[in-house]
A and B are shown apart, each in its own frame.
Chain A
């Protein structure tokens, strides 16, 4: 093969990778065994991390990228893509994850941020990034930094889908308000939401985000996953929802099937039967302000 003819890490390849995940479920895993359960259930990818978000909440302390040995073991154990989380702004963790062979990096608010002002310059990487967002401005700023995929932040580790719903509706609603605006109105809108005008214009034209947009943060049941698909998500991340459920293998398979049958209540009813209890969860209301994860990132 004439190596100089190959172009790696182009925008088309990064965004293209995210497009191949559409209609799928990406599952948080902490061990190779969990990764194999996820693959067997039909996950399109797994997210390697040292503890699922609900445990990160309980443990407290500084949450960092997962042990590279564990990430490497997970990569070795499955054939589907393996994603991994780096702290916001921690470009060295991201470089390590890329060197390990991670297929996508999640610059994630679930981990303790390493930089209070700047996100990672994602254009400098060969592998694509996914980032969280609560509104359109945040999503477009991340895309401008090179994110190839967006996910709603929701409120990770709660099993309470409310914040994921809020963020998805917020983003979709803001995109609808751009429809039919004149160029000068779009320029004002871009200023209001602190996003680059080029991306605002592209979003207004396409009437969707210019990259793949998944739901995340609180999805705990097949019904939650289907709800997010009905609201216009391209797919779903499930964090604590699977391996904190009573029967992870059944829950994983049911959520995969729910995403494929999100618009069919009869099938969803069948899928949701006899799969054991979902994660216990905590209502977002009861979380003290200083333990809220979604406000991390800028």
Chain B
């Protein structure tokens, strides 16, 4: 078993540590690798997109030529987790802000996203969030977070704040507007690992 974290930019080390901690919690072993270049994605059984700047991540994924490998992994049913900037990259379409920056989107989920949906950094927040697949609220960290404005009928909504969807899944893809890798609570990572084990 091999889990790859896209390591082009963002909080990669935090995701690697979280996955390792979650694996230890459930008594499983797997190799966790970082992906900066072509050729590694096809060897992975699971993929994680960290938080970071979506414009930077999108441009470098294209320049490094790993976009097609990721699309193929999705087709092959490889579980994929995207957080924050990762959620944006997984989307099929975006709002005017996304279009203005010529943001590259992988289009793996039938969702329309909005960047910086909750405002600038001084409006970033923590909240006790109800997530439908967890039995008690989850302390979710939102940092200049995006949100899902519209989701197709094949998309399962897992959490919302008012009319903004902040966690959703479709087939083998799980997308979050917040950062489970910044907290000690491993339940979201465990939910993702359930797709692998």
Residues of A within 8 A of B (CB): 1, 5-10, 12-13, 16-17, 19-24, 39, 42-45, 75, 79-81, 98, 101-104, 126-128, 256-257, 260-261
Contacts and interface: CB of A to CB of B under 8 A. Distances in A.
B179 A44 contact: no
B26 interface: no
Contacts, number: 118
Given A19-B11, A23-B12, A257-B63, A127 B122 contact: yes
Given A98-B122, A127-B121, A260-B9, A17 B161 contact: no
Contacts of B162: 1
A260 B125 contact: no
Given A20-B85, A79-B101, A42 B10 contact: no
A43 B97 CA distance: 17
Interface string B118-153: 001111111110000000000001011000000000
B53 A17 contact: no
Given A44-B56, A260-B60, A39 B101 contact: yes
A43 B56 CA distance: 6
Most chain A beta-carbon contacts within 10 A, residue among B100, B122, B182: B122
Nearest to B50: A20
A22 B9 contact: yes
B36 interface: yes
A289 B52 CA distance: 39
B8 interface: yes
A107 to B, nearest CB: 16
Interface of B: 7-14, 36, 51-53, 55-56, 59-60, 63-64, 84-85, 97, 100-101, 115-116, 120-128, 141, 143-144, 161-162, 179, 182-183
A8 B143 CA distance: 10
Given A20-B84, A45-B53, A79 B116 contact: yes
**Max chain A C-beta neighbours (<10 A), residue from B11, B161, B179:** B11
B125 A8 contact: yes
Given A13-B141, A17-B144, A44-B53, A23 B9 contact: yes
Contacts of A260: 8-9, 36, 60, 64
